[in-house]
Amino acid sequence: MSLRLENISFTYQPGTPFEKTALSGVSLIINDGDFVGITGESGSGKSTLLQVLSGLLFPFAGKLCLNTEVINPGQKKSLNRLRRRVGLVFQFPEEQIFELQVYDEVAFGPRNLGLSRSKVDERVQEAMNHMGLGFEKYSLRHCHSLSGGEKRRLAIAAILAMQPQILLLDEPAAGLDYEGRQVLLQRLDYLNREKGISIVMVSHHYQQLLASCSRILLLDKGRLILDGISSSWLEYL
């Protein structure tokens, strides 16, 4: 499976005094098994890029393609096909945790898909396990009682329960302590290697990206100025 952007541009509040072009002429491809890092200064367009890739932001100029299909996020069917394959985890887990209890939070997506109770249960257990949230210990806990790192893993588990093929994460390690970051990165690495889920992760920590990613994208003022591992990255090691 591949997710491709062809010459994408995106402008916030076009035609107003607040008009702001956040992405210009970005082309890239995410292939099966990729572990891609996105970096760049604050305001360079990283979050906007993730939102375009997940179908959350439109309209934009250029093309978003899933395999050979051109996706129009303005059309429900097209968007649903994209959503089934691509999961987005926001930067602040609080923004996407809606339920009181951990179980219900992770079950939300599978229930929406209309799966049977036992299928929902299976998916919840599997997703929680992948994120190191033991089912017995956590399923009845209140979401708001979890630590920052646990909330982050819960938000990811809720997306994983939808069984995406591509997982997009906005600054997943932000605000976590050293150990929290290591646990999270190991889990992502496992999902990528063992489950074949493509990972696209935004971070402003080059070291973290260099350690985890097979490719790094560098954005500068909305333009993609580097795609790959360049020798110039090595100075950050």
Chain residues in the site for ligand ADP (CB under 6 A): 12-13, 18, 20, 22, 40, 42-48, 173, 181, 205, 207-208
CA distance 106 to 88: 14
Beta bridge partners of 201: 37, 169
Residue closer to ligand ADP (CB basis): 37 or 110: 37
Closest residue by Cα to residue 199 from 160, 231, 225, 149:
160
Closest contact distance (angstroms) between CB of 115 and ligand ADP is: 34
CA–CA–CA angle 141, 146, 148 (5° rounding): 160
Closest residue by Cα to residue 106 from 125, 89, 90, 119:
125
Residue closer to ligand ADP (CB basis): 69 or 177: 177
Closest contact distance (angstroms) between CB of 200 and ligand ADP is: 13
Closest contact distance (angstroms) between CB of 112 and ligand ADP is: 27
Residue closer to ligand ADP (CB basis): 128 or 188: 188
Structure tokens at 57: 């932001």
Closest contact distance (angstroms) between CB of 43 and ligand ADP is: 4
Residue closer to ligand ADP (CB basis): 123 or 153: 153
Residue closer to ligand ADP (CB basis): 86 or 219: 219
Closest contact distance (angstroms) between CB of 170 and ligand ADP is: 7
